[in-house]
A = this chain, B = another copy of it.
Amino acid sequence: MSKESSYHHGNLREALLEAGTKLVEEKGVADVSLRAVAKAAGVSHTAPYRHFSDKNAMLRGIAATGFRLLAQRIEEAVELHPGNPELQLSAAGVAYVELAIEHPRLHNLMFGGVLQDDAVDDSLEERSDQAFKGLVGIIALGQQAGVFRRGDTDELALTAWSLVHGFAMLASTGTLDHRAGGQEAKLALAHRVANHLLSGLAKR
């Protein structure tokens, strides 16, 4: 915890993740090199290898911070509406979209398919699975309370997950830009789209 520069950094792993996250958010995954991250953290170009087995491992580390942030946001959104599954579902979805809009390049790293899982470290899948479990919980609660229709809970959850994931994807890649420019416009759109799912497309 000494402030003066020394041979040993003391907390390089975190520093690398921080610098890496910043670079990714600035320039996109494709334009970030291991060496650049090392330089940004003030160390030489092979120092990262003492903390990550690979460039991919480092990117996974960066993505993991994003997943943590996502899980946290969703949890907060859910806790805002205790006992109201409909609002919980909506708020969780919006939180998800919000993160994708605020950090599009990080979101791209998380879900763009650049990461290859090394089988050893499947923490990413775990996290994603954990988020899904939370979603299933909301749906199950809603079914019990009688506000969501009956049926395979997992399938309903997957439906909502797909919708949100797809919308976030479109929002973060800019495909929606000439239909809803600003951030608020996109979020409002997200709300309306979520309602369409709740009420269904077909005429009742």
Q: How many copies does the complex hold?
A: 2
A159:B198 contact, CB within 8 angstroms: no
Task: List A142-167 residues whose CB lies under 8 Å from chain B.
Answer: 146-149, 151-152, 154-156, 158-167
Q: How far is the CB of A129 from the nearest CB of chain B, in Å? A: 9
Chain B neighbourhood of A82, CB < 8 A: none
A86-B202 contact in complex given A113-B108, A159-B196, A193-B159, C-beta closer than 8 Å: yes
The answer to whether A170 touches B161 (Cβ under 8 A) is: yes
Expressed in whole angstroms, the Cα–Cα distance for A158 and B170 within the complex equals: 10
Flag A60-80 by CB within 8 Å of B: 1 or 0 each.
000000000000000000000
Taking chain A's interface residues, is the majority helix, strand, or loop, or is none over half, making it mixed? helix
| Given known A-B contacts A30-B114, A86-B202, A154-B179, A159 and B163 have beta carbons under 8 A apart | yes
Interface residues of A (CB under 8 A from B): 28, 30, 86, 89, 108, 111-114, 116, 125, 128, 139, 146-149, 151-152, 154-156, 158-170, 173, 175-176, 179, 189, 192-193, 196-204
Which single member of B160, B173, B203 contacts A113 (CB below 8 Å)?
B173
Expressed in whole angstroms, the Cα–Cα distance for A200 and B151 within the complex equals 12
Bound Cα distance from A2 to B76, whole angstroms: 67
**Pairwise interchain contact A147-B197, C-beta atoms closer than 8 A:** no
Q: Closest B-chain residue to A155, C-beta based?
A: B192
Contact B198 A149 (CB under 8 A): no
